[in-house]
């Protein structure tokens, strides 16, 4: 088992004929993800990925013809809010937006519209997610995973790969790995994903990778203290980040003395969660917490 995506996922890719969309869709297909449709306005009726995937003009049409139940968005930032709204309008229950650089006020509106419709949004500015050996949606390299029972949730991209690789090298397998995105406004929070992992019978332990900015790690720590009894380990990036500066990710900023790595680390430790000094220590912390 796993969360969010699995063998039943019928994926639609918005922006499938773009350079990024085509490249990563090919990797998803190779991983075994079932891509049932692509959408590129104006290219409906053609096919993509060497004839393997039909392309439609609109999301509504793609859903009607193929029964797609999730979408992965690769369109440029200027068009991504509209792409997310189009997916919601067509009642796609799960939207994963990879695009970086979506303006925050656009995201605010999209967030509330999708929430009101009950659509689950992952991202934007995220690497996507992988349910190991079942389905990969987004840009996480497929070859770093090992099937297992540890769920992972992270705000980052390559840092997630770093931790997954360290776990795989140490023989600690993963159930699902979710990148929730590095923007200030994202569709799904740490707490949302922790709740899903907590309820997933196949996920026996959880790793959380946070970074400076905002208070979602602190909220997640409070949730874990209340609800989660599964073993956990964490890492927080940005101990050396200067205040008031955006560290690459739009959401990674210490402002007004809030959102520091120390604050997040102490909140997690107060909730009984061990926080690693280096990503390479995560497998050991998991073993110490009783993960086989």
Please give the residue ranges that form the binding site for other proteins (CB under 8 A): 23-24, 27, 77-78, 101-106, 108-109, 111-113, 139-141, 143-144, 154-162, 165, 182-185, 209, 211-212, 214-215, 235, 237-242, 245-252, 256-257, 261, 277-280
Q: Specify whether 249 is catalytic.
A: yes
Is residue 42 classed exposed, middle or buried when 0-12, 13-18 and 19+ CB atoms within 10 A define those classes?
Answer: exposed
Q: How big is the chain, counted in residues?
A: 292
Q: Report in angstroms how near the CB of residue 280 gets to other proteins at its nearest.
A: 6
Query: CB 185: neighbour CB atoms within 10 A?
Result: 21
CB 164 within 8 A of CB 177: yes
Nearer to other proteins, 23 or 290 (CB): 23
Peptide bond into 267 cis (omega under 30): no
Among 24, 112, 249, 281, the active-site one is 249
CB-nearer residue toward other proteins: 10 or 246: 246
Nearer Cβ to other proteins (36/166): 166
Smaller CB separation from other proteins, 223 or 235: 235
Q: What is the gyration radius of the CA atoms in the chain, in angstroms?
A: 18
Please report how close the Cβ of residue 286 comes to other proteins at its closest, in angstroms. Answer: 17
- What's the closest the beta carbon of residue 202 comes to other proteins, in angstroms? 26
Whole-angstrom Cα distance, residue 233 to residue 225? 13
Give least dist CB 245 to other proteins, A: 5
Closest approach of other proteins to the CB of residue 83, in Å: 16
Tokens found for residue 263 = 């604050």
CB burial of 240-257 (b: ≥16 within 10 Å; e: otherwise) equals ebeeeeebebbbbbbeee
Q: Which is nearer to other proteins, 119 or 139 (CB)?
A: 139
Q: Min. distance of Cβ 211 from other proteins in angstroms?
A: 6
> Which CB sits closer to other proteins, 60 or 77?
77
Q: Which residues are catalytic?
A: 249
């Amino acid at each position: 088992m796993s969360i969010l995506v699995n063998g039943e996922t019928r994926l639609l890719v918005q922006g499938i004929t773009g350079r990024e969309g085509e490249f990563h869709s090919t990797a998803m297909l190779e991983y075994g993800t079932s891509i049932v449709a692509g959408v590129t306005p104006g290219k409906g009726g053609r096919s993509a990925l060497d004839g393997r995937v039909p392309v439609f003009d609109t999301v509504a049409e793609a859903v009607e013809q193929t029964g797609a139940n999730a979408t992965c968005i690769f369109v440029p930032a200027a068009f991504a809010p509209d792409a997310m709204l189009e997916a919601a309008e067509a009642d796609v229950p799960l939207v994963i937006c990879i695009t970086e650089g979506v303006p925050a006020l656009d995201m605010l509106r999209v967030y509330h519209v999708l929430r009101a419709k009950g659509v689950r949004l992952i991202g934007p500015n995220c690497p996507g997610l992988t349910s190991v050996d079942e389905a990969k949606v987004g840009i996480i390299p497929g070859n770093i995973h090992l099937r297992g029972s540890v769920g992972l949730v992270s705000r980052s991209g390559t840092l997630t790969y770093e931790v997954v690789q360290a776990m795989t090298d140490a023989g600690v397998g993963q159930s699902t790995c979710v990148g929730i995105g590095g923007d200030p406004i994202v569709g799904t929070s740490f707490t949302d994903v922790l709740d899903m992992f907590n309820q997933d019978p196949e996920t026996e332990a959880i790793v959380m990778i946070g970074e400076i900015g905002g208070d979602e790690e602190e909220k997640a720590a409070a949730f874990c203290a209340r609800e989660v009894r599964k073993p956990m380990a964490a890492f927080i990036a940005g101990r050396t980040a200067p205040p008031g500066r955006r560290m690459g990710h739009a959401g990674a900023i210490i402002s007004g003395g809030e959102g520091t790595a120390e604050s997040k680390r102490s909140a997690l430790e107060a909730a009984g969660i061990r926080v690693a000094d280096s990503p390479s220590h995560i497998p050991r912390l998991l073993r110490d917490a009783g993960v086989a």
